[in-house]
Amino acid sequence: MAKAKTVYRCTECGAEFPKWAGRCESCDAWNTLGEEMVSNAPTSKRTAARSVPGIAAATVTLGRVTAADTPRWTTQLNEFDFVLGGGLVPGSMVLVGGEPGIGKSTLLLQVAARLENAGLATLYVSGEESALQVRLRADRLAEDASSVALLTETSLETILATASQPAADGRRISVLIVDSIQTVHTELLEGAPGNVGQVRECAARLMRFAKDTGTAVFVIGHVTKGGGIAGPKTLEHIVDTVLYFEGDGTLDHRVLRATKNRFGSVDEIGVFRMVGTGLIPVENPSALFLGDRRDVASGSAVCALMEGTRPVLVEVQALAARAGFGTPQRVANGIDARRLALLLAVLDKRGGFSCAHLDVFCNIVGGMRVQEPSVDLAIVAAIASSVVDKPLPAQAIFLGEVGLGGEVRPVSQVERRLAEAAKLGMTRAYLSDRAIPRRVPGDITLVGVRTLADVLQKTVGKDAT
């Protein structure tokens, strides 16, 4: 029998080391080496494997490959289907990650109930909860999940064998949900469930099962304290789609974001509201994040973001107050703190608004996380408004990237952003004069600006000094 040995593998790059170290020498990542048990194959078998020649396979030219539309299964959860690209593709594997308690199991149990009621045999595998715990969650849902087949098991071999058998009514299992991949283990490898080797091997075999049988596989993944999915990075490379379930535990809405999708657009988002009976799709996310803006105070600006193919209006709030200590605070919620520091430097140098002795707090309302630079103009306008304590126009949006020279640069898909703004009653838009479209949707007035000084002069009435 082959003896097992302990190695340490990097979860980021997959490099293998004989002993643990704080930093991976291959990719320079810190605290990414995980323990893994591997078996040494006998020397005779390794020698035999090298001497066996491969068998040539037939090839086909790309011109002779015919494209066919893959049928999709819809869950009738419109936001969920939208993020997937129009529905669930048979034979695909979807990884869903998120913070503990965010609602991953609730969402997929709702999906299982809807697919089962639509005539697709669904198997829900729980490796973390007992059958009674899953039943108690199902009883709270608005969907009827009583017909969903349940298996409380952590052995991958048992899970695959069960999913390969017909359901109780003779139907073939069409959808397999595994909660979660970190609890599943295979007998082919030594080591505890959740280590690098177990997660990688179990995910690869589930992916092969999905492709060979046409079964759609959902896998729930835990996240680390840094926000990434626990386990090796190859886990995200193996699957077809990666969905992150985001949200603040104190808020009642959740954001489902696609960061990888082989069958649709990436960076699509779906918004849900958590209620006592489960997750309810939000049909108009802009209205949710924008809120009521009838009485607008200083330091509030609106920007139109592009989340995948969907424009979403969000409110940016900034507060500049006298610093109570020697070093002013810089607090950013929903945006990169380094981006805020950069914009403050540009506002000081190019706009004449010095915040050197002020605490600056910036927040994206509703718990949204913004990465694209089109929110720059809204951030600097909100900060300047708070410094002079003068409200910005209530029904105005700000679109533009701010450069280090104080120039306002155009953003992509301006017409779609403006159309969403006009639909929600916005009447004015400040944007780069190089990005003014030929068609103006609705009754919105476009104000072209060239530099940051132009925006400040037209909104808060202060020239750059």
Residue ranges of the annotated binding site for ATP are: 98-105
Cis status of the peptide bond prior to 286, with omega within 30 of 0 = no
Helix (H), strand (E), coil (C) string for 269-333: EEEEEEECCEEEECCCHHHHHHCCCCCCCCCEEEEEEEECCEEEEEEEEEEEEECCCCCCCEEEE
| Residue 28, phi-psi category: left (phi > 0), alpha (psi -120 to 50), beta (remainder) | left
Q: Which two tokens stand for residue 133?
A: 């715990």
Neighbours of 101 (CB within 10 A): 10
Beta bridge partners of 330: 360
- Contact by Cβ (8 Å): 93, 210: yes
Instruction: Give the three-class secondary structure for 374.
Output: helix
Helix (H, G, I), strand (E, B) or coil at 165: coil
* Helices 452-459 and 376-388: angle between axes, nearest 10 degrees: 50
Residues at the binding site are 98-105
DSSP secondary structure code for residue 449 in this structure: E
SS (H, E, C) 389-442: CCCCCCCEEEECEECCCCEEECCCCHHHHHHHHHHCCCCEEEEECCCCCCCCCC
